[in-house]
Amino acid sequence: MNRMKRTILAVALVSLGLVAAWAQDPQPTVTLSIEEIARQVQSRNLEIFKAARNVERARKDLVGEPELMDSSLSVGGGYTPQQSGAGAWYGQSNLTLRLFPQLSAGASAAVEEPGLFGESVSLSLKPFEPPRQTYTEQKTLDSTLIRERYLKRQIYLDAEQAALNLLIREMERELVRATEELEQRKYELAQRRQEVGEASFQDVQDQLVDLIQAREDLFDSEQRYLSDWGNLQLLFAPSDEQVAVAQLPVTELMGMVQRRKAEVKRFDEVEPVTEGLENLRLELTALEAELKATPAWRPELNLSTAVTLPYAYPDSHSMSMSLSFSPNQLKRDERQDLLEDIEVKRMEIAAEAYSAGLQKSLEQQNIAIVEQALASAQIQAERDRVALQEGELLFQQGRRTTLELEQLRLNLRRTRILTFQSAAEVYRVLGVYLMLFVAQ
């Protein structure tokens, strides 16, 4: 690597140090476990809050307003001129009460000079008027409940993953720092060996390349750590404190994996249900309800009665009936369209159910793959542990150097980090699988 590249790297490291110093501001820091982080994020998340508001609004829309809210009161008056020159003032008021979609009541009163007064009450009945239909509002409410349920689960899993990622980045950063220190010591040893003629100039240059590469790895590791640290803080925004993740031994992580595997086991014989599948079923239910509420013919029949007060007059009571016919009352085309929409929706549901089943199979295979990767990492960690024990024994016998022994220690740290990372991946994939059964 040329001199300019080393200079750029040095400047980048200094800049990164400034960014890291800025991140460590005087804000108080609270240390939380993985579960505590996930639960707090779930309870404070803005998207979940908005989803809950949508649920409440949908509940209000489903209940609707009372029929009486459609009632009306009107008041009016005027002046009627007469040919004789003397006009007359009059006033009137009308009240209409909407009791049910099929039944309404009314009352009216009028006064006219000189002292004429009249009032009446009436009832109007429309027996074929359909009741208030709520299938659209019910679908909206159920859909918002589904969205809230899936969102809570997804946010919980995302928070868990963000916390685990930060723990992994912390371990990787410490490993890279130790590796950079080891490469620095190797480089200094190569320089001393060159001075006494035990190493060539090329040996020193090769070691310098390894040292510079280690410093680049350190820079990349710091960047990844800061990025994941920021992602975790944003989950709690806005907040007056910073969040740190409590240390999690790999044994505890493996316990979390085993508990989640036991939860997964309960759904081996259960059909998966996705959010999309639940919403399609809601749409089918709404279409079927709309079809049921759409008769082939809906006549317009109106029965009304009115009473003029006082009751003593023989013509104070009246009744009427009207029946009207219009081609718009025939709903055969609408019913046919609904039947076709229902058939299409059922096909969509079948396709989505097949997709969910396929996704379940793929996720099961994915679980098997990541479990194999975890087992491989554990085997390699055990090999590196045995290699370190042998190296310590050979070091006591003078057959291994301090630097070689330190390299064996770093190898073991690296595979242990890989084991932790593999276990975290198994935990994540199991969580993704459980998203297929949120409805259960």
Average pLDDT over residues 303-319: 61
- The answer to whether 410 and 185 have CB atoms below 8 angstroms apart is no
- The mean-pLDDT minimum among 131-145, 183-197, 299-313 falls in 299-313
Residue 132: pLDDT above 90? no
Residue 25: pLDDT above 60? no
What pLDDT, on a 0 to 100 scale, did the predictor assign at position 352? Answer: 96
Average pLDDT across the chain, whole number: 85
Confidence label for 5 from pLDDT (cuts 50, 70 and 90): very low
Question: Which residue from 112, 108, 83 is spatially nearest to 94, judged by alpha carbons?
Answer: 108
Give residue limits of the domains in the chain: 1-68+134-248, 249-295+331-440
- The span from the CA of 329 to the CA of 294, in Å, is 10
DSSP string, 225-241: HHHHHHHHHHTT-S-SS
What pLDDT, on a 0 to 100 scale, did the predictor assign at position 10? Answer: 46
Render pLDDT for 356-367 as a digit per residue (tens, 0 to 9). Answer: 999 999 999 999
Residue 313: pLDDT above 80? no
Residue 48: pLDDT above 80? yes
Confidence label for 166 from pLDDT (cuts 50, 70 and 90): very high
Residue 24: pLDDT above 60? no
Residue 85: pLDDT above 80? no
| Residue where the block lists tokens 């009427």 | 320
Cβ neighbors of 263 (< 8 A, separation 6 or more) are: 430, 434
Amino acid letter, residue 230: G
Confidence label for 108 from pLDDT (cuts 50, 70 and 90): confident
Higher-confidence residue: 76 or 426?
Answer: 426
Cβ-defined contacts of 132-138 (< 8 Å, 24+): 132/64, 132/101, 133/289, 133/290, 133/293, 134/62, 134/64, 135/285, 135/286, 135/289, 135/290, 135/293, 136/286, 137/58, 137/61, 137/62, 137/64, 138/62, 138/285, 138/286, 138/289
- The span from the CA of 86 to the CA of 403, in Å, is 122
Cβ atoms within 10 Å of 359's Cβ, excluding its own: 16
What pLDDT, on a 0 to 100 scale, did the predictor assign at position 9? Answer: 47
Residue 42: pLDDT above 60? yes
Confidence label for 327 from pLDDT (cuts 50, 70 and 90): low
Residue 124: pLDDT above 70? yes
Q: Which token pair is 199?
A: 């190493």
Residue 15: pLDDT above 50? no
Q: Please state, for a pLDDT cut of 90, what percent of the chain lies above it.
A: 62
Q: How far is CA 111 from the centre of its chain?
A: 64
What pLDDT, on a 0 to 100 scale, did the predictor assign at position 428? Answer: 97
Q: Using the Cα atoms of residue 352, residue 355, residue 361 and residue 364 in order, give the sign of their dihedral.
A: negative
Residue 19: pLDDT above 60? no
What pLDDT, on a 0 to 100 scale, did the predictor assign at position 141? Answer: 94
What pLDDT, on a 0 to 100 scale, did the predictor assign at position 159? Answer: 96
Confidence label for 104 from pLDDT (cuts 50, 70 and 90): confident
Cβ atoms within 10 Å of 417's Cβ, excluding its own: 20
What pLDDT, on a 0 to 100 scale, did the predictor assign at position 16? Answer: 47
Average pLDDT over residues 132-147: 89
Q: 323 burial class (0-12, 13-18, 19+ CB within 10 angstroms)?
A: exposed
- The span from the CA of 222 to the CA of 180, in Å, is 13
Residue 185: pLDDT above 50? yes
Phi/psi for 94 (5° steps) reads: -135, 135
User: In the sheet where 103-112 sits, what is the strand order?
Assistant: 72-80, 88-98, 103-112, 116-125, 300-309, 317-324
Higher-confidence residue: 113 or 206?
Answer: 206
Render pLDDT for 232-283 as a digit per residue (tens, 0 to 9). Answer: 999 988 888 899 999 999 999 999 999 999 999 999 999 999 999 999 999 9
Phi/psi for 124 (5° steps) reads: -130, 130
Average pLDDT over residues 62-83: 71
Length of the chain in terms of residues written: 440
CA distances from 383 to 26, 161, 251, 378, 415 (A): 44, 29, 18, 9, 9
Render pLDDT for 199-227 as a digit per residue (tens, 0 to 9). Answer: 999 999 999 999 999 999 999 999 999 99
- 1-68+134-248 has which fold? Outer membrane efflux proteins (OEP) (1.20.1600)
